[in-house]
Amino acid sequence: MNENARSESAASQSGNVDWVAEVDNLIDDLRGPLGDNLPFDPTPHGLYTAADLYEGIEAGFAECRDQRVYARARKSGGPEIGPVEGLAHRLHDHGITVALDAFRADRSLVGVMGGHALVRGSAGYAQAVELGRTLATNAHCVTTGGGPGAMEAANFGALTSRMEWGDVEALIDELAEVPTFHHDADGFIGSALSVLERIVDPEPNLSVPTWFYGHEPSNPFATSIAKYFSNSEREDGLLAIAKSGIVFVRGGPGTLQEVFQDAAQNAYRTFGPPAPMLFLDPPHDPTWWVDSGVLSAVDRAFLLDDGSRRPGWDLISHPSSLEEVIPLLAR
């Protein structure tokens, strides 16, 4: 290490370095190789809003800021991304984490995890909307992965929790006119943004999506959006910050991954004391979680060879209705 490096190291250890200025200087050095059309800020100082991500939506979904970031991330070549842009991604995600930590201070975050394929207007979608409303009206901040399906429904339910249910039902019917994003992304997002304009007295809530799955639109019903480049950092962090518990609704492989990842975090106290894990069956299928084998597998994962249980086993529950959710979280 040369003398200048030693001096800089000593200064940093003594707390004399202005790290904000240091990072800003570094980013200025990076912008040349990255070009002037970088669609994201490598050092964000806050979380995103729907207006941020859907800037430019008037030209179509593919032209909005969210999709321009995704297109650039994909064109970077995945694992072969250049070191300069890779560093910009890491700096960005660090800034999002700092902003997320500030957001969640003094809030009771409850996660809602479920499938992205849940169709607008279905009974399951309405159930997830009611779940979001129930959590929000009981002073919990709804937190989701930020995508469509169950995630959109839970964020929407939280956002509209101060509105009359009849008015909310009318908005759900409007959303259901474009039930999925697969065949009409413009219409899917357009209908959501149109509905968003008519929501009064919105309740703050959170989503944590990723550009790793950037082909799926981030739902605009979260008031604060912590969007990451790194899916692994986002996935682990999303489960970790739901300190007041997670409600799992029916989903596919991604939801099952979250179930067992959350179980591991609880059992090993990775991020502190275990939090409740609730498994809510879909409407008209009250044994889905049992029939799927998930509950028995989770139960076995918490059982040790000597017959004792890992931490958190007593916080696993299978509510039969929405009315049971809040008391079970309160444990």
Per-residue pLDDT tens digits for 144-189: 999 999 999 999 999 999 999 999 999 999 999 999 999 999 999 9
pLDDT exceeds 60 at position 3: no
Percent share of the chain, pLDDT over 90: 81
Decide if 46 is inside a domain.
no
In the structure, what pLDDT confidence band is assigned to residue 10 with cuts at 50, 70 and 90? very low
Decide if 15 is inside a domain.
no
- Cβ atoms of 228 and 234 within 8 Å: the answer is yes
- Return the SS3 of 58: helix
Decide if 278 is inside a domain.
yes
| Predicted pLDDT of residue 83 | 78
Q: Which long-range contacts (CB under 8 A, 24 or more apart) does 154-158 make?
A: 154/112, 154/114, 154/128, 154/129, 155/205, 155/207, 155/219, 155/221, 155/222, 156/129, 156/132, 156/219, 156/221, 157/128, 157/129, 157/130, 157/131, 157/132, 157/133, 158/132, 158/133, 158/203, 158/205, 158/221
pLDDT exceeds 50 at position 11: no
- Cβ atoms of 96 and 41 within 8 Å: the answer is no
Query: Domain limits at 192?
Result: 103-329
Decide if 212 is inside a domain.
yes
Give the Cα separation of 246 and 192 in Å (integer).
Answer: 25
pLDDT exceeds 60 at position 121: yes
Decide if 90 is inside a domain.
no
Decide if 56 is inside a domain.
no
- What's the domain count of the chain? 1
CATH code of the domain containing 114: 3.40.50.450
| Predicted pLDDT of residue 23 | 66
**Mean pLDDT on 262-266:** 98
**Mean pLDDT on 11-35:** 60
Decide if 228 is inside a domain.
yes
pLDDT mean across residues, the chain: 91
Listed range (84-93, 210-219, 297-306) with the worst mean pLDDT: 84-93
The CA distances from residue 77 to 10, 257, 265, 296, in Å, are 38, 26, 32, 41
- Return the SS3 of 143: strand
pLDDT exceeds 90 at position 287: yes
Give the Cα separation of 62 and 23 in Å (integer).
Answer: 31
| Predicted pLDDT of residue 32 | 64
**Mean pLDDT on 207-222:** 96
**Mean pLDDT on 241-270:** 97
| Predicted pLDDT of residue 86 | 84
**Mean pLDDT on 26-54:** 82
Decide if 89 is inside a domain.
no
- Cβ atoms of 109 and 242 within 8 Å: the answer is yes
In the structure, what pLDDT confidence band is assigned to residue 85 with cuts at 50, 70 and 90? confident
Beta strand spans in the chain (E): 109-113, 141-144, 206-207, 224-225, 246-248, 277-279, 316-317
Listed range (29-33, 186-190, 230-234) with the worst mean pLDDT: 29-33
pLDDT exceeds 50 at position 25: yes
